[in-house]
Amino acid sequence: MRSPVIVPALLSMVITISVACQAQKRATAVKSDALLQTIATNFEDGAKQYKVLKASLPPGRFPKTYYPQTGKSETSGSGWWCSGFYPGTLLYLYEETRDTALYNEADRILGILQKEQYNTTTHDLGFMMFCSFGNANRIKPKEEYKAILLNSAKSLCTRFNERTGCIRSWDSKDPSDFLVIIDNMMNLELLFETTKATGDSSYYKIAVTHANTTLKNHFRPDNSSYHVLNYDVNTGAVKQKKTAQGAADASAWARGQAWGLYGYTVCYRYTKDASYLQQAQKIAKYILSHPNLPADKIPYWDFNAPEIPNALRDASAAAIMASAFIELSQYTKGAAAREYLQVATTLIKNLSGADYKAAAGTNGGFILQHGVGHKPAGTEVDVPLTYGDYYFIEACKRYKELSK
Protein backbone atom coordinates (compact mmCIF):
# COMPACT_ATOMS: atom_id res chain seq x y z
CA MET A 1 0.00 0.00 0.00
CA ARG A 2 1.09 3.52 -0.66
CA SER A 3 1.69 5.62 2.42
CA PRO A 4 -0.72 8.50 2.66
CA VAL A 5 0.93 11.74 1.63
CA ILE A 6 0.09 14.72 3.70
CA VAL A 7 1.33 18.00 2.35
CA PRO A 8 0.28 20.87 4.55
CA ALA A 9 -0.12 23.81 2.21
CA LEU A 10 1.97 26.10 4.30
CA LEU A 11 4.88 23.73 4.69
CA SER A 12 4.98 22.92 1.01
CA MET A 13 5.31 26.64 0.32
CA VAL A 14 8.37 26.99 2.50
CA ILE A 15 11.37 27.56 0.31
CA THR A 16 14.50 28.82 1.91
CA ILE A 17 16.68 30.78 -0.40
CA SER A 18 20.33 30.81 0.37
CA VAL A 19 22.45 33.22 -1.58
CA ALA A 20 25.42 31.04 -2.29
CA CYS A 21 28.79 32.57 -2.00
CA GLN A 22 30.67 29.91 -3.85
CA ALA A 23 28.60 28.58 -6.70
CA GLN A 24 26.01 29.97 -9.01
CA LYS A 25 24.46 26.52 -9.35
CA ARG A 26 23.82 26.52 -5.61
CA ALA A 27 22.42 30.02 -5.67
CA THR A 28 18.98 28.89 -4.65
CA ALA A 29 18.46 26.25 -2.00
CA VAL A 30 15.21 24.67 -1.05
CA LYS A 31 13.71 22.80 1.84
CA SER A 32 10.18 21.61 2.31
CA ASP A 33 10.16 18.68 4.72
CA ALA A 34 6.66 17.71 3.63
CA LEU A 35 7.63 17.59 -0.03
CA LEU A 36 10.84 15.72 0.77
CA GLN A 37 8.75 13.12 2.55
CA THR A 38 6.45 12.90 -0.47
CA ILE A 39 9.49 12.49 -2.71
CA ALA A 40 10.88 9.70 -0.52
CA THR A 41 7.51 7.93 -0.86
CA ASN A 42 7.60 8.49 -4.63
CA PHE A 43 10.94 6.67 -4.84
CA GLU A 44 9.66 3.71 -2.81
CA ASP A 45 6.39 3.55 -4.74
CA GLY A 46 8.20 4.00 -8.06
CA ALA A 47 10.50 1.07 -7.28
CA LYS A 48 7.50 -1.15 -6.52
CA GLN A 49 5.69 -0.01 -9.67
CA TYR A 50 8.70 -0.70 -11.88
CA LYS A 51 8.80 -4.27 -10.58
CA VAL A 52 5.17 -4.60 -11.74
CA LEU A 53 6.19 -3.12 -15.11
CA LYS A 54 9.12 -5.53 -15.36
CA ALA A 55 6.91 -8.54 -14.62
CA SER A 56 4.66 -7.77 -17.59
CA LEU A 57 7.45 -7.23 -20.12
CA PRO A 58 7.80 -9.81 -22.91
CA PRO A 59 11.39 -10.91 -23.65
CA GLY A 60 13.36 -8.39 -25.69
CA ARG A 61 10.69 -5.69 -25.40
CA PHE A 62 10.64 -2.21 -23.83
CA PRO A 63 7.68 -0.60 -22.02
CA LYS A 64 5.78 1.93 -24.09
CA THR A 65 2.39 2.57 -22.51
CA TYR A 66 -0.68 1.01 -20.92
CA TYR A 67 -4.36 1.49 -21.73
CA PRO A 68 -6.36 1.68 -18.49
CA GLN A 69 -9.70 1.13 -20.25
CA THR A 70 -8.66 -2.24 -21.68
CA GLY A 71 -5.92 -3.19 -19.24
CA LYS A 72 -3.57 -3.77 -22.20
CA SER A 73 0.10 -2.87 -22.19
CA GLU A 74 1.98 -1.77 -25.30
CA THR A 75 5.68 -2.42 -25.74
CA SER A 76 8.33 -1.49 -28.29
CA GLY A 77 11.60 -2.70 -29.70
CA SER A 78 14.91 -1.01 -28.88
CA GLY A 79 14.66 1.33 -31.90
CA TRP A 80 11.67 3.28 -30.56
CA TRP A 81 12.65 6.77 -29.38
CA CYS A 82 11.62 6.00 -25.79
CA SER A 83 13.73 2.87 -25.24
CA GLY A 84 16.23 4.65 -22.97
CA PHE A 85 13.70 5.88 -20.43
CA TYR A 86 12.93 2.50 -18.85
CA PRO A 87 16.58 1.74 -17.97
CA GLY A 88 17.06 5.41 -17.04
CA THR A 89 14.18 5.37 -14.57
CA LEU A 90 15.33 2.04 -13.13
CA LEU A 91 18.79 3.51 -12.57
CA TYR A 92 17.42 6.68 -10.92
CA LEU A 93 15.25 4.52 -8.65
CA TYR A 94 18.19 2.23 -7.89
CA GLU A 95 20.25 5.24 -6.80
CA GLU A 96 17.52 6.26 -4.40
CA THR A 97 16.58 2.84 -3.03
CA ARG A 98 19.78 0.79 -3.51
CA ASP A 99 17.52 -2.06 -4.58
CA THR A 100 19.81 -4.22 -6.71
CA ALA A 101 16.86 -5.86 -8.48
CA LEU A 102 16.33 -2.50 -10.22
CA TYR A 103 19.99 -2.25 -11.19
CA ASN A 104 20.01 -5.82 -12.52
CA GLU A 105 16.92 -5.15 -14.62
CA ALA A 106 18.52 -1.98 -16.01
CA ASP A 107 21.65 -3.98 -16.81
CA ARG A 108 19.60 -6.64 -18.61
CA ILE A 109 17.72 -4.17 -20.80
CA LEU A 110 20.88 -2.15 -21.56
CA GLY A 111 22.23 -5.33 -23.14
CA ILE A 112 19.30 -5.26 -25.58
CA LEU A 113 19.49 -1.50 -26.16
CA GLN A 114 23.20 -1.29 -26.92
CA LYS A 115 22.89 -2.12 -30.63
CA GLU A 116 21.19 1.25 -31.16
CA GLN A 117 24.61 2.92 -30.81
CA TYR A 118 24.95 2.32 -34.56
CA ASN A 119 21.49 3.57 -35.49
CA THR A 120 21.82 6.47 -37.91
CA THR A 121 18.15 6.58 -38.89
CA THR A 122 17.03 8.63 -35.87
CA HIS A 123 17.88 11.87 -34.10
CA ASP A 124 16.59 10.43 -30.81
CA LEU A 125 19.91 8.93 -29.79
CA GLY A 126 20.25 11.40 -26.90
CA PHE A 127 16.99 10.23 -25.39
CA MET A 128 17.72 6.59 -26.14
CA MET A 129 21.38 6.33 -25.23
CA PHE A 130 22.15 9.17 -22.84
CA CYS A 131 19.17 8.73 -20.49
CA SER A 132 20.21 5.07 -20.28
CA PHE A 133 23.96 4.55 -20.77
CA GLY A 134 24.75 8.09 -19.61
CA ASN A 135 23.20 7.33 -16.23
CA ALA A 136 24.71 3.84 -16.14
CA ASN A 137 28.17 5.31 -16.75
CA ARG A 138 27.63 8.04 -14.16
CA ILE A 139 26.70 5.45 -11.53
CA LYS A 140 29.34 2.82 -12.39
CA PRO A 141 31.77 4.10 -15.04
CA LYS A 142 32.82 1.41 -17.51
CA GLU A 143 34.89 1.49 -20.71
CA GLU A 144 32.11 -0.43 -22.43
CA TYR A 145 29.57 2.32 -21.62
CA LYS A 146 31.96 5.06 -22.74
CA ALA A 147 32.44 3.33 -26.10
CA ILE A 148 28.67 2.96 -26.56
CA LEU A 149 28.13 6.65 -25.75
CA LEU A 150 30.88 7.69 -28.17
CA ASN A 151 29.47 5.54 -30.98
CA SER A 152 25.98 6.92 -30.27
CA ALA A 153 27.28 10.49 -30.55
CA LYS A 154 29.03 9.62 -33.82
CA SER A 155 25.80 8.14 -35.17
CA LEU A 156 23.87 11.27 -34.17
CA CYS A 157 26.43 13.51 -35.88
CA THR A 158 25.91 11.71 -39.20
CA ARG A 159 22.58 13.55 -39.29
CA PHE A 160 24.18 17.00 -39.02
CA ASN A 161 24.14 19.16 -42.13
CA GLU A 162 26.44 22.19 -42.52
CA ARG A 163 24.12 24.07 -44.85
CA THR A 164 21.08 23.96 -42.58
CA GLY A 165 23.18 24.18 -39.42
CA CYS A 166 21.04 21.46 -37.85
CA ILE A 167 20.81 17.80 -37.01
CA ARG A 168 18.10 16.21 -39.11
CA SER A 169 15.21 14.98 -37.00
CA TRP A 170 13.00 13.06 -39.36
CA ASP A 171 13.67 11.68 -42.80
CA SER A 172 11.33 12.73 -45.61
CA LYS A 173 10.34 11.41 -49.03
CA ASP A 174 11.18 14.75 -50.67
CA PRO A 175 14.99 14.84 -50.94
CA SER A 176 15.02 18.65 -50.57
CA ASP A 177 13.26 18.48 -47.17
CA PHE A 178 15.23 18.71 -43.95
CA LEU A 179 12.91 18.33 -40.96
CA VAL A 180 13.91 19.55 -37.52
CA ILE A 181 11.69 19.35 -34.43
CA ILE A 182 12.09 21.31 -31.19
CA ASP A 183 12.43 17.97 -29.34
CA ASN A 184 15.85 17.62 -30.95
CA MET A 185 17.26 20.11 -28.43
CA MET A 186 17.16 17.22 -25.95
CA ASN A 187 19.69 15.19 -27.92
CA LEU A 188 22.45 17.78 -27.54
CA GLU A 189 23.42 16.75 -24.00
CA LEU A 190 24.92 13.54 -25.45
CA LEU A 191 27.14 15.66 -27.72
CA PHE A 192 28.26 18.07 -24.97
CA GLU A 193 29.13 15.11 -22.75
CA THR A 194 31.05 13.43 -25.56
CA THR A 195 33.29 16.46 -25.97
CA LYS A 196 33.83 16.47 -22.19
CA ALA A 197 34.71 12.78 -22.23
CA THR A 198 36.96 12.78 -25.31
CA GLY A 199 38.32 16.33 -25.60
CA ASP A 200 37.13 16.35 -29.23
CA SER A 201 35.37 19.68 -29.72
CA SER A 202 33.56 18.64 -32.91
CA TYR A 203 30.59 17.29 -30.92
CA TYR A 204 30.32 20.52 -28.93
CA LYS A 205 30.46 22.56 -32.15
CA ILE A 206 27.62 20.59 -33.73
CA ALA A 207 25.52 20.96 -30.57
CA VAL A 208 26.10 24.72 -30.45
CA THR A 209 25.41 25.16 -34.16
CA HIS A 210 22.15 23.26 -33.86
CA ALA A 211 21.13 25.25 -30.76
CA ASN A 212 21.94 28.57 -32.48
CA THR A 213 20.02 27.70 -35.65
CA THR A 214 17.04 26.55 -33.61
CA LEU A 215 17.16 29.70 -31.51
CA LYS A 216 17.12 31.80 -34.66
CA ASN A 217 14.33 30.01 -36.51
CA HIS A 218 12.16 27.90 -34.24
CA PHE A 219 10.72 30.60 -31.98
CA ARG A 220 7.88 33.05 -32.47
CA PRO A 221 7.95 36.64 -31.24
CA ASP A 222 6.10 35.55 -28.06
CA ASN A 223 8.87 32.94 -27.42
CA SER A 224 6.67 29.92 -27.96
CA SER A 225 8.09 27.47 -30.47
CA TYR A 226 6.89 25.76 -33.59
CA HIS A 227 7.09 22.01 -33.44
CA VAL A 228 8.51 21.22 -36.90
CA LEU A 229 10.65 23.31 -39.22
CA ASN A 230 11.30 22.18 -42.75
CA TYR A 231 14.57 23.56 -44.13
CA ASP A 232 15.54 23.42 -47.77
CA VAL A 233 18.57 21.17 -47.65
CA ASN A 234 20.01 22.83 -50.78
CA THR A 235 19.87 26.42 -49.53
CA GLY A 236 19.43 26.15 -45.76
CA ALA A 237 16.34 28.40 -45.96
CA VAL A 238 13.27 27.64 -43.88
CA LYS A 239 10.51 26.32 -46.17
CA GLN A 240 7.76 25.57 -43.65
CA LYS A 241 6.90 26.06 -40.00
CA LYS A 242 4.33 23.54 -38.86
CA THR A 243 3.24 21.00 -36.30
CA ALA A 244 3.03 17.24 -36.09
CA GLN A 245 1.93 16.62 -32.52
CA GLY A 246 0.38 19.97 -31.65
CA ALA A 247 -3.16 21.27 -32.12
CA ALA A 248 -2.23 23.53 -35.06
CA ASP A 249 0.79 24.88 -36.92
CA ALA A 250 0.51 28.13 -34.97
CA SER A 251 -0.22 26.55 -31.59
CA ALA A 252 2.11 25.96 -28.66
CA TRP A 253 2.30 22.19 -28.12
CA ALA A 254 2.97 21.82 -24.40
CA ARG A 255 5.66 19.16 -24.56
CA GLY A 256 7.45 21.10 -27.27
CA GLN A 257 7.66 24.10 -24.94
CA ALA A 258 8.97 21.78 -22.22
CA TRP A 259 11.66 20.34 -24.51
CA GLY A 260 12.79 23.86 -25.43
CA LEU A 261 12.91 24.95 -21.78
CA TYR A 262 14.92 21.91 -20.76
CA GLY A 263 17.11 21.96 -23.88
CA TYR A 264 18.29 25.57 -23.58
CA THR A 265 18.87 25.15 -19.84
CA VAL A 266 21.18 22.23 -20.65
CA CYS A 267 22.93 24.28 -23.37
CA TYR A 268 23.64 26.97 -20.78
CA ARG A 269 24.97 24.36 -18.33
CA TYR A 270 27.67 23.31 -20.80
CA THR A 271 28.48 26.60 -22.53
CA LYS A 272 27.66 29.37 -20.06
CA ASP A 273 26.47 31.31 -23.13
CA ALA A 274 24.05 33.95 -21.83
CA SER A 275 21.89 33.75 -24.95
CA TYR A 276 20.89 30.19 -24.03
CA LEU A 277 20.05 31.21 -20.47
CA GLN A 278 17.96 34.10 -21.79
CA GLN A 279 16.15 31.78 -24.20
CA ALA A 280 15.31 29.34 -21.40
CA GLN A 281 14.08 32.25 -19.27
CA LYS A 282 11.97 33.59 -22.15
CA ILE A 283 10.37 30.16 -22.62
CA ALA A 284 9.76 30.01 -18.86
CA LYS A 285 8.05 33.39 -19.02
CA TYR A 286 5.88 32.27 -21.92
CA ILE A 287 4.77 29.16 -20.00
CA LEU A 288 4.28 30.81 -16.62
CA SER A 289 2.41 33.86 -17.84
CA HIS A 290 0.16 31.96 -20.24
CA PRO A 291 -3.53 32.53 -19.48
CA ASN A 292 -4.22 28.88 -20.31
CA LEU A 293 -1.78 27.50 -17.73
CA PRO A 294 -4.07 25.98 -15.10
CA ALA A 295 -3.72 26.94 -11.43
CA ASP A 296 -2.17 23.55 -10.59
CA LYS A 297 0.45 24.25 -13.32
CA ILE A 298 -0.10 20.90 -15.10
CA PRO A 299 -0.39 22.11 -18.70
CA TYR A 300 -3.07 21.18 -21.15
CA TRP A 301 -1.54 19.04 -23.91
CA ASP A 302 -1.39 22.18 -26.06
CA PHE A 303 -1.56 25.74 -24.75
CA ASN A 304 -4.00 26.48 -27.58
CA ALA A 305 -5.98 23.23 -27.52
CA PRO A 306 -9.44 24.09 -28.84
CA GLU A 307 -11.10 21.99 -26.11
CA ILE A 308 -9.73 24.16 -23.26
CA PRO A 309 -10.95 24.18 -20.45
CA ASN A 310 -11.97 20.58 -21.13
CA ALA A 311 -8.73 19.64 -22.87
CA LEU A 312 -6.58 16.79 -21.57
CA ARG A 313 -3.62 17.63 -19.42
CA ASP A 314 -0.18 16.25 -20.27
CA ALA A 315 1.58 14.93 -17.17
CA SER A 316 4.71 14.24 -19.22
CA ALA A 317 5.10 17.92 -20.16
CA ALA A 318 4.56 18.81 -16.49
CA ALA A 319 7.30 16.40 -15.37
CA ILE A 320 9.81 17.71 -17.95
CA MET A 321 9.02 21.29 -16.92
CA ALA A 322 9.43 20.46 -13.20
CA SER A 323 12.90 19.05 -13.76
CA ALA A 324 13.94 21.91 -16.06
CA PHE A 325 12.63 24.62 -13.72
CA ILE A 326 14.71 23.22 -10.85
CA GLU A 327 17.91 23.41 -12.89
CA LEU A 328 17.02 26.81 -14.37
CA SER A 329 16.39 28.19 -10.87
CA GLN A 330 20.02 27.49 -10.06
CA TYR A 331 21.25 29.69 -12.91
CA THR A 332 18.85 32.53 -12.14
CA LYS A 333 18.75 35.14 -9.41
CA GLY A 334 16.04 36.85 -7.36
CA ALA A 335 12.30 36.64 -7.86
CA ALA A 336 12.51 34.65 -11.10
CA ALA A 337 14.61 31.94 -9.41
CA ARG A 338 12.12 31.75 -6.57
CA GLU A 339 9.24 31.52 -9.02
CA TYR A 340 10.88 28.65 -10.95
CA LEU A 341 11.44 26.71 -7.74
CA GLN A 342 7.95 27.42 -6.51
CA VAL A 343 6.45 26.17 -9.76
CA ALA A 344 8.63 23.05 -9.67
CA THR A 345 7.45 22.46 -6.10
CA THR A 346 3.82 22.81 -7.15
CA LEU A 347 4.32 20.50 -10.12
CA ILE A 348 6.01 17.77 -8.07
CA LYS A 349 3.40 18.08 -5.34
CA ASN A 350 0.50 17.84 -7.78
CA LEU A 351 2.02 15.04 -9.86
CA SER A 352 2.54 13.14 -6.59
CA GLY A 353 -1.17 13.35 -5.74
CA ALA A 354 -3.77 10.72 -6.55
CA ASP A 355 -4.93 12.61 -9.67
CA TYR A 356 -1.66 11.87 -11.45
CA LYS A 357 0.33 9.27 -9.52
CA ALA A 358 -1.06 5.80 -9.99
CA ALA A 359 -2.19 3.68 -7.06
CA ALA A 360 0.10 0.77 -6.23
CA GLY A 361 -0.17 -2.13 -8.64
CA THR A 362 -2.31 -0.23 -11.17
CA ASN A 363 -1.47 1.64 -14.39
CA GLY A 364 0.45 -1.33 -15.83
CA GLY A 365 3.29 -0.54 -13.43
CA PHE A 366 3.91 2.99 -14.72
CA ILE A 367 4.25 5.73 -12.10
CA LEU A 368 2.30 8.61 -13.64
CA GLN A 369 -1.06 8.61 -15.40
CA HIS A 370 -2.50 11.07 -17.91
CA GLY A 371 0.20 11.72 -20.48
CA VAL A 372 -0.60 12.72 -24.03
CA GLY A 373 1.71 11.23 -26.66
CA HIS A 374 0.33 12.15 -30.08
CA LYS A 375 -3.15 13.66 -29.88
CA PRO A 376 -3.62 14.49 -33.59
CA ALA A 377 -2.78 10.89 -34.52
CA GLY A 378 -4.96 9.57 -31.69
CA THR A 379 -2.11 7.51 -30.28
CA GLU A 380 -1.02 7.35 -26.63
CA VAL A 381 -3.74 9.74 -25.49
CA ASP A 382 -4.40 10.05 -21.74
CA VAL A 383 -2.07 7.21 -20.85
CA PRO A 384 1.15 6.66 -18.90
CA LEU A 385 4.35 7.44 -20.81
CA THR A 386 7.89 6.27 -20.06
CA TYR A 387 9.30 9.79 -20.38
CA GLY A 388 6.70 11.17 -17.95
CA ASP A 389 8.02 8.74 -15.34
CA TYR A 390 11.67 9.42 -16.16
CA TYR A 391 11.50 13.21 -15.84
CA PHE A 392 9.19 13.00 -12.80
CA ILE A 393 11.71 10.86 -10.90
CA GLU A 394 14.52 13.13 -12.15
CA ALA A 395 12.65 16.18 -10.85
CA CYS A 396 12.20 14.47 -7.47
CA LYS A 397 15.93 13.67 -7.36
CA ARG A 398 16.87 17.23 -8.30
CA TYR A 399 14.60 18.68 -5.61
CA LYS A 400 16.07 16.31 -3.02
CA GLU A 401 19.60 17.22 -4.15
CA LEU A 402 18.91 20.94 -3.70
CA SER A 403 17.77 20.49 -0.15
CA LYS A 404 20.99 18.78 0.99
Q: Which of 47, 228 has the CB closer to ligand GLY?
A: 228
The answer to whether 183 contacts ligand GLY (rule: CB under 6 A) is yes
DSSP state of 376: T
Give the helix/strand (H/E) hosting 331.
none
Give the contacts of 287 (CB within 8 A, at least 6 positions apart).
257, 261, 293, 299, 321
> Least Å distance between CB 174 and ligand GLY?
20
User: CA separation (Å) from 368 to 57, 178, 208?
Assistant: 18, 34, 33
Q: Which of 255, 297 has the CB closer to ligand GLY?
A: 255
> Least Å distance between CB 255 and ligand GLY?
5
Q: Which of 218, 255 has the CB closer to ligand GLY?
A: 255
> Least Å distance between CB 383 and ligand GLY?
13
Nearest Cα neighbor of 364 from 64, 147, 89, 37 is 64
Annotation says 183 is catalytic: yes
The answer to whether 96 contacts ligand GLY (rule: CB under 6 A) is no
The 126-165 contact track toward ligand GLY, x by CB under 6 A, reads ----------------------------------------
The 241-280 contact track toward ligand GLY, x by CB under 6 A, reads ----x---------x-------------------------
Q: Which of 74, 339 has the CB closer to ligand GLY?
A: 74
**Given the residues 33, 107, 174, 183, the one annotated as active site:** 183
Which one-letter amino acid corresponds to residue 33?
A: D
Residues 324/261, Cβ–Cβ less than 8 Å: yes
Residues in contact with ligand GLY, counted by CB under 6 A, come to a total of 3
β-bridge mates for residue 166, sequence order: 161
Q: At residue 334, what are phi and psi to the nearest 5 degrees? A: 70, -145
Residues 74/64, Cβ–Cβ less than 8 Å: yes
- Beta strand 238-242 with 371-374: parallel, antiparallel or unpaired? unpaired
Residues 139/91, Cβ–Cβ less than 8 Å: yes
Q: Which of 15, 228 has the CB closer to ligand GLY?
A: 228
Positions marked active-site: 124, 183
Question: Which residues contact ligand GLY by CB under 6 A?
Answer: 183, 245, 255
